[in-house]
Amino acid sequence: MMFDARSPNPPVTPTMRVRSIAAAGVVALALVLLIGRAFYIQVLRGDEYAAAAKKQSIRVETIAGERGRILDASGGILACDVPAYSVWLYTPDAGDVQQTLEILSRRVKFDVEAVRRRIRNGGLFVPVERGISVDVGHALMDERIAGVHLLPDQRRVYPLGEAAAALVGAVGFEGHGLNGVEAAYEELLAGRPGRIVTERDGANRLVRVEVKPDGRPLPGKDLHLTVRAGIQEAAFRALEKARSEFKARAASAVVIDAQDGRVLALVCTPSFDPADPGKAHPDAIRLRPVSDAFEPGSSFKPFVMAAALELGIVSLDEQWHCGNGAWRFQGRLLHDAHPYAMLDTWMVVVKSSNIGMAKVGLRINEKLGYKGFHEIVSAFGFGRPTGVGLPGETPGLLLPHTQWTSYSVTSIPMGQEIAVSPLQLSLGYAALVNGGWLHSPRLVDRWEKGPYREALGHPGKPARVISQDVSDTMRVMLERVVTEGTGKKAQLKEYRVGGKTGTAQKAEGGVYVDGKYVGSFVGFAPADAPRVVCTVFVDEPGDKYYGGTVAAPAVREILQASMLDLGVPPSPAAASPARSR
């Protein structure tokens, strides 16, 4: 039969019929497979896939708990948290992320590059800055910047600012202590972090931010220090004045209770703003009174003299020939700052004779040898950490007796071949004048949290290092340093003061450096019944560098403030210190 193309219904051939049936079968099979897959996903494994989808859309972020307060001895605030906001950026909602960051940077100070790194590393809900003020936070909320979210947070504030920055410390971006008490007691101060749950929809838009009830942050413990804010601030002002007046590189001060070793102030300058520690120079963060050690120079002489008196190998009325200012021993020429012919034992310390003290050292060595001499120096706490519990404490330097030479027994009595921290020196002086008891330092009194409290930092029993009789003599001797000797600039009108000057040339790489000195003064008041010991070190002053010039005036100011802060009544009118026991 001929095929007519004009026919409306062309005939169906057997081949075409087979192809149509095959195509229909394929479609039917595909539908069956799709229905089966849907049944498998939605019915058999529906819960599993729903959970996976939810997991992909929900993220959990941590927020810090309120940090415990740091308080002074009177309950005044040294550090605390105040309400604030943290700024977060949800990048999928931010549109032009770079433009958003630029807008934020004009309203909030933050590390733009650090935020960009977090975004490049795949962050979606990215922290921008913590601890912004409530006012700034409310202003940002009003602007409704796309992708910007504000969450409740805390901001750490430090009422004493630079005056206590190295002691109290600071916290970093993540809220952890960086230095000082903040770092040393991180475990107690840190609160329990809370959890923020964020959820986004299928279009990656943020639809929920929630703090779970069981994930609320909890506050840390409050720390009560023995420090007194008034004394801390007064010491900082005195150091700043001394550093400026004498063009010094740095200065440090320690104030302790002479009777029990409580720390009333630990101060150093230059300092830094604890609210912005990222800009601080590493030297400013260091707590110098604890971490730095220097040769003490003449301020070490009273320890050797006290030991000689305790051993009974010198008498107070004994005369010492001081060579008219120069004396040679085993090829080494020793000098005094001023020439003296004969000085009695009192005046060897009062006039700070290097030659007289070298001869006292030789006499101790004749009786005890290197080992015994080393033991009496170590007994005052030198050559080991005090245990104050702050980061970076130095043990100072006291060489083993096996490394001593014949020069050592004349150098150490002059404050050479030994290095001490200002805190070590303060504790040692307290033992010299409080009746002979060496106390461990006490900085933290207790922690508190609600109704709970626990005492902290209570050291063991003090060690007796000299007798009451010798301690009484040293008090009088050191008061005469202030009334008759090199410490006149430490005198107060209403309080009797004792103390000792020190001047030491700095060594670098084991070699003394021309023009680099440390001037120091250790003072105590009232001299007849010591309540406070204060030590000041002035590091690398300019042309004037003697301790009696650069450090004694600062000690005077700090002692005056300490007496007033503690409510110590003025010393009764008294004659010159007695010259005999």
3-state SS class at 200? strand
Lowest-confidence region among 103-112, 310-319, 486-495: 103-112
- Does the pLDDT at position 35 exceed 70? no
- Does the pLDDT at position 1 exceed 60? no
Alpha helices in 62-151 (DSSP H): 97-105, 112-120, 134-143
User: Is the CB of residue 180 less than 8 Å from the CB of residue 136?
Assistant: no
- Under the banding of pLDDT at 50, 70 and 90, the label for residue 111 is confident
3-state SS class at 265? strand
User: Is the CB of residue 400 less than 8 Å from the CB of residue 343?
Assistant: no
Q: Give the Cα separation of 121 and 354 in Å (integer).
A: 65
- pLDDT, residue 147, reads 87
474-501: per-residue pLDDT in tens? 999 999 999 999 999 999 999 999 999 9
Q: Where in the chain is the domain with CATH 3.90.1310.10?
A: 59-109+116-222
Q: What letter represents residue 279's amino acid? A: K
- Does the pLDDT at position 46 exceed 60? no
Q: Give the Cα separation of 250 and 553 in Å (integer).
A: 16
414-425: per-residue pLDDT in tens? 999 999 999 999
- Under the banding of pLDDT at 50, 70 and 90, the label for residue 29 is low
pTM for this entry: 0.83
168-213: per-residue pLDDT in tens? 999 987 789 999 999 999 999 998 877 777 776 666 565 666 666 6
Cα end-to-end distance, the chain, whole Å: 151
- Under the banding of pLDDT at 50, 70 and 90, the label for residue 282 is confident
Q: Give the Cα separation of 489 and 555 in Å (integer).
A: 9
* C-alpha gyration radius of the chain: 37
Mean pLDDT across 130-143: 87
The CATH fold of domain 59-109+116-222: Penicillin-binding protein 2a (Domain 2) (3.90.1310)
- pLDDT, residue 481, reads 97
- Does the pLDDT at position 504 exceed 90? yes
Give me the DSSP letters along 16-70: HHHHHHHHHHHHHHHHHHHHHHHHIIIIISHHHHHHHHHHHHEEEEEEPPPPPPE
Whose tokens are 């200012």? That residue is 325
Q: Which residues contact 158 (CB under 8 A, 6 or more apart)?
A: 78, 79, 164, 165, 168, 170, 274, 275
For residue 448 the two structure tokens come to 């508190």
User: Is the CB of residue 447 less than 8 Å from the CB of residue 221?
Assistant: yes
Q: Give the Cα separation of 38 and 471 in Å (integer).
A: 93
For residue 333 the two structure tokens come to 């020429």
Mean pLDDT across 215-244: 94
User: Is the CB of residue 373 less than 8 Å from the CB of residue 399?
Assistant: no
- Under the banding of pLDDT at 50, 70 and 90, the label for residue 453 is confident
- pLDDT, residue 575, reads 46
Q: Where in the chain is the domain with CATH 3.40.710.10?
A: 229-272+288-566
Q: Give the Cα separation of 396 and 134 in Å (integer).
A: 46
- pLDDT, residue 358, reads 97
- Does the pLDDT at position 580 exceed 50? no
Q: Give the Cα separation of 315 and 305 in Å (integer).
A: 10
Pairing of strands 125-132, 77-90: antiparallel
Lowest-confidence region among 115-129, 322-336, 344-358, 400-414: 115-129
**Percentage with pLDDT > 90 across the chain:** 63
Of 128-142, 231-245, 441-455, give the range with the top mean pLDDT.
231-245
Q: Is the model more confident about 18 or about 401?
A: 401
Whose tokens are 């010491």? That residue is 235
- Does the pLDDT at position 42 exceed 60? no
- pLDDT, residue 219, reads 87
- Under the banding of pLDDT at 50, 70 and 90, the label for residue 53 is very low
- Under the banding of pLDDT at 50, 70 and 90, the label for residue 145 is confident
- Kindly state which CATH superfamily the domain 229-272+288-566 is placed in: DD-peptidase/beta-lactamase superfamily (3.40.710.10)
Q: Is the dihedral of CA 289, 291, 294, 299 positive or negative?
A: positive
- pLDDT, residue 71, reads 98
- pLDDT, residue 62, reads 67
- Does the pLDDT at position 331 exceed 80? yes
Per annotation, catalytic residue among 291, 298, 411, 421: 298
Q: Give the Cα separation of 243 and 253 in Å (integer).
A: 12
Q: Is 57 marked active-site?
A: no
3-state SS class at 133? coil
Q: Give the Cα separation of 258 and 31 in Å (integer).
A: 93
Mean pLDDT across 207-229: 80
60-90 b/e (C-beta count within 10 Å ≥ 16 → b): ebebbbbbbbbbbbeeeebbbbeebbbbbbb
3-state SS class at 384? coil
